Amino acid sequence: MNKFISITLLFCFSVLLFSTNSAQAQVGQTFRLAEGFVRIAEPGQISDTLSVWGDINAPGRYIVPRGTKPHELISYARGPVASRTAGQRLDWSKVRIEISISRYDDASGEETSQTFTFRYNEPYPAELRDFSLRSDDIISFEVLRRPAFVDWLSVISSVLGATATTIIILDRLAD
């Protein structure tokens, strides 16, 4: 009798352990989609799939609730990139932000694009706040700024270095 009880308990324990592991594996696979593929909408919620490109901290493909506005999508993508060059501080009062939203119309076969440009320290444009995103829209985000002295210096130094190297090589070949 003891053997029967121990086998039954062992069987129940193994079934419980197996079912717990398989449930954890299914949840892990559901939300671990891929690099650059982010689910914001809850499973079962009506959603749109949007692409976010450009100078944004987390570009990628987003599954968002239907009716998501562009400013919410920018927040999901963790906002604009501060700067492309290391060690340089960006003066946000002089920065312009350009958001382009491209949409393909299946009926007409045409791609339409709408662009919104504003300064970072200005109020968010009302027409962008009311813009309705739809599935398969492509949102391009660009941070525009005037070149700083460091930018000019890096370009000029590269050109001068290449020119000096060419002159030195030609001089050595001529001898």
Q: Residue 30 has what pLDDT?
A: 34
Q: What is the pLDDT of residue 8?
A: 60
Write the pLDDT tens digit of every residue in 29-52: 334 456 778 888 888 889 999 999
What's the mean pLDDT in 44-65? 91
68-88 CB burial, b ≥16 within 10 A, e <16: bebeebbebbeebbeeeeeee
Q: pLDDT tens for residues 122-163? A: 888 888 888 989 999 999 999 887 777 777 888 898 899 999
In the chain, domain spans: 1-32, 37-144, 148-175
CA distance 175 to 172: 5
Using one digit for the tens of pLDDT, what is the confidence trace for 86-122?
Answer: 445 556 667 888 999 999 988 898 999 999 998 878 8
pLDDT bin (cut points 50, 70, 90) of residue 16 is: low
Q: Residue 94's pLDDT is what?
A: 74
pLDDT of residue 44: 87
37-144 placed in CATH 3.10.560: yes
pTM for this predicted structure: 0.62
CA dist 97 and 84 (Å) reads: 15
Query: Residue 2 pLDDT > 90, yes or no?
Result: no
Tell me, what's the pLDDT at 70?
92
CA separation, residue 154 to residues 40, 86, 116 (Å) = 40, 13, 31
pLDDT at residue 26 above 70? no
